[in-house]
């Protein structure tokens, strides 16, 4: 008898769905579509030649190790490099506090695997990164959404939400995806204090922290939290206490195709993540880790990040100016201090999912905002716009097309 597959799938698959963005990306790969939809870095900035040289050197000098199985925790020199990077933003850790993952997307999945029981509530920003919702839906999570404003998560609303007993809080303090907002320093302190008071840990997702275009660097939650637990200091074996699980990635500063991210957390959490990762994929590819280390070991990453910042700052400014010029009255948008995205709001009665169909006909695309809500009946009049991937002239033209479409839609109404 042929298998009836539908009857065989686990309960957890019922909450799984394809990422709206990944599906959209398929639509928008036609060369004449100007896409503000993905979260793609500018490909022309990838250090392709450096990677090529590094790959050759790795194979010549350490070929066997690069092609062999490696430790689940990750390639030790890369973990040490990440420790040094983290120290620069005020987070002190030992390599023992770090596990390398296949991008921070895998880190989100592993965090779900070790923390979420079916029905557990996760406190999330509203809107939030849809990849996290996608990862945690598979663990049958429920959500407690807390709204954001222009200064990030509304910490004044947190206590009520914390009383609902969430398993952890998921926060993107820097240039949030999708909102583009930055969590103000006082709110960071407040968040860390509340986490300690209620004993509810924080998962801090920070893929964009290095990509700041204006304003001062603000301490990560992991650094503020470490100050609270200073007595659990470093002894070469890694710190043992703390409320924050920090997620980082090389996707936006080096290249997403390498699939290299990391988790920085208290030792016992790293230990659990190692067990979870062993079941998932044994370890992150040795070759990719060694090539990445070979690329960054000479200290040139900061120069490369400087270049990315210059290019993206210009693109952000072009998009902001174009929005000002072409978008009709009744629309508003955020002014991101860094990162890859801004968030636009159109008149309440416009449904951006319906608008997207007309937009794609005009060869321009964005992500409808509902995708970033744990309750997808919300956010229907919002959209996320990416400004890192298109060139300035395309950004201007794409926003002109979108602005035209909005004006026509409003006129018809
Ligand atoms: C907030 C956030 N977290 C995690 C990821 C996953 O990144 P990666 O798996 O490439 O490190 C992304 C990617 O865009 C993101 O925006």
Tell me the pLDDT tens digit for each residue of 351-378. Answer: 999 999 899 999 999 999 999 999 888 9
Residue nearest atom 8 in ligand 1 by C-alpha distance = 103
Ligand 1 centre to CA of 41 (Å) is 11
Ligand 1 centre to CA of 6 (Å) is 31
What is the rounded average pLDDT of the residues 315-335?
A: 97
Say what the pLDDT of residue 228 is.
85
Residue 238 CB–ligand 1 contact under 6 Å: no
Coil, strand or helix at 265: coil
Per-residue confidence band for 26, with pLDDT thresholds at 50, 70 and 90: confident
- Pull the structure tokens for residue 240: 């043992």
Say what the pLDDT of residue 128 is.
98
Coil, strand or helix at 182: coil
Say what the pLDDT of residue 24 is.
67
Task: Calculate the average pLDDT of the chain.
Answer: 94
**How buried is residue 293: exposed, middle or buried, by Cβ count under 10 Å (0-12/13-18/19+)?**
buried
Say what the pLDDT of residue 25 is.
65
The predicted-structure confidence for 208-229, as pLDDT tens digits, reads as follows: 999 999 999 999 999 999 988 8
CA 129 to ligand 1: nearest atom: 1
The predicted-structure confidence for 36-83, as pLDDT tens digits, reads as follows: 998 999 999 999 999 999 999 999 999 999 999 999 999 999 999 999
Handedness of CA 208, 210, 216, 218 (dihedral sign): positive
Ligand 1 centre to CA of 48 (Å) is 21
- In this predicted structure, the answer to whether residue 256 has a pLDDT above a threshold of 70 is yes
Residue 339 CB–ligand 1 contact under 6 Å: no
Per-residue confidence band for 3, with pLDDT thresholds at 50, 70 and 90: very high
The interaxial angle of helices 130-137 and 103-115, nearest 10 deg, is: 40
Ligand 1 centre to CA of 78 (Å) is 19
Ligand 1 centre to CA of 207 (Å) is 6
Across 67-141, the runs of DSSP E, i.e. the strands, are 98-101, 121-126
- In this predicted structure, the answer to whether residue 231 has a pLDDT above a threshold of 80 is no
Residue 403 CB–ligand 1 contact under 6 Å: no
Residue 286 CB–ligand 1 contact under 6 Å: no
Say what the pLDDT of residue 17 is.
76
Ligand 1 centre to CA of 247 (Å) is 9
Measured CA to CA, the distance from residue 336 to residue 351 in angstroms comes to 24
- In this predicted structure, the answer to whether residue 234 has a pLDDT above a threshold of 90 is no
Residue nearest atom 6 in ligand 1 by C-alpha distance = 105
Q: Rounded to 5, what percent of the chain is helix, strand, coil? A: 50, 15, 40
Residue 97 CB–ligand 1 contact under 6 Å: no
- In this predicted structure, the answer to whether residue 92 has a pLDDT above a threshold of 70 is yes
The interaxial angle of helices 185-198 and 221-228, nearest 10 deg, is: 50
Residue 105 CB–ligand 1 contact under 6 Å: yes
Handedness of CA 186, 341, 38, 55 (dihedral sign): negative
Ligand 1 centre to CA of 261 (Å) is 9
CB–CB of 241/229 below 8 Å?
yes
Residue 398 CB–ligand 1 contact under 6 Å: no
Say what the pLDDT of residue 180 is.
97
Residue 261 CB–ligand 1 contact under 6 Å: yes
CA 39 to ligand 1: nearest atom: 14
Ligand 1 centre to CA of 102 (Å) is 11
What is the rounded average pLDDT of the residues 235-248?
A: 87
Per-residue confidence band for 239, with pLDDT thresholds at 50, 70 and 90: confident
Ligand 1 centre to CA of 349 (Å) is 31
Residue 179 CB–ligand 1 contact under 6 Å: no
Measured CA to CA, the distance from residue 35 to residue 59 in angstroms comes to 37
Ligand 1 centre to CA of 140 (Å) is 21
Measured CA to CA, the distance from residue 239 to residue 406 in angstroms comes to 53
Residue 204 CB–ligand 1 contact under 6 Å: no
The predicted-structure confidence for 156-203, as pLDDT tens digits, reads as follows: 999 999 998 999 999 999 999 999 999 999 999 999 999 999 999 999
- In this predicted structure, the answer to whether residue 233 has a pLDDT above a threshold of 80 is no
Say what the pLDDT of residue 31 is.
80
Residue 207 CB–ligand 1 contact under 6 Å: yes
């Amino acid at each position: 008898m042929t298998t009836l597959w539908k009857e065989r799938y686990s309960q957890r698959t019922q909450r799984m769905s394809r990422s709206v963005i990944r599906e959209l990306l398929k639509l928008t790969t036609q060369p004449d579509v100007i896409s503000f939809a993905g979260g793609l870095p500018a490909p022309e900035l990838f250090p392709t030649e450096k990677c090529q040289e590094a790959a050759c050197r790795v194979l010549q000098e350490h070929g066997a190790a690069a092609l062999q199985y490696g430790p689940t925790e990750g390639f030790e020199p890369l973990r040490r490099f990440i420790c040094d990077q983290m120290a620069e933003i005020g987070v002190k850790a030992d390599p023992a506090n770090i596990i390398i993952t296949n991008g921070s997307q895998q880190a989100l999945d592993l965090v779900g695997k070790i923390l979420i029981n079916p029905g557990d509530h996760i406190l999330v920003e509203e809107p939030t990164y849809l990849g996290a919702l996608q990862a945690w839906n598979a663990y049958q999570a429920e959500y407690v959404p807390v709204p954001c404003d222009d200064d990030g998560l509304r910490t004044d609303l947190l206590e009520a939400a914390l009383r609902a007993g969430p398993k952890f809080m998921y926060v993107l303090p820097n240039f949030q995806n999708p909102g583009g907002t930055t969590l103000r320093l006082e709110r960071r302190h407040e968040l860390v204090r509340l986490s300690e008071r209620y004993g509810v840990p924080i998962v801090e997702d920070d893929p964009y922290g290095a990509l700041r275009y204006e304003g001062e660097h603000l301490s990560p939650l992991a650094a503020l939290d470490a100050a609270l637990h200073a007595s659990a200091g470093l002894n070469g074996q890694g710190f043992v206490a703390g409320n924050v699980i920090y997620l980082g990635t090389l996707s936006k500063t080096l290249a997403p195709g390498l699939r290299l991210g990391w988790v920085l957390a208290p030792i016992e959490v790293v230990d659990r993540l190692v067990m979870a990762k062993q079941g998932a994929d044994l370890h992150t590819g040795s070759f990719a880790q060694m090539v990445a280390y070979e690329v960054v070991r000479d200290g040139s990453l900061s120069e490369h990040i400087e270049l990315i910042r210059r290019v993206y700052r210009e693109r952000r400014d072009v998009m902001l100016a174009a929005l000002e010029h072409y978008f009709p009255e009744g629309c508003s948008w955020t002014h991101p201090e860094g990162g890859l995205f801004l968030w636009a709001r159109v008149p309440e009665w416009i449904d951006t999912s319906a608008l997207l169909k007309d937009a794609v006909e005009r060869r321009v695309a964005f992500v409808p905002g509902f995708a970033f809500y744990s309750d997808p009946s919300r956010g229907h009049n919002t959209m996320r716009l990416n400004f890192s991937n298109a060139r300035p002239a395309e950004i201007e033209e794409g926003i002109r097309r979108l602005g035209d479409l909005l004006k026509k839609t409003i006129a018809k109404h």
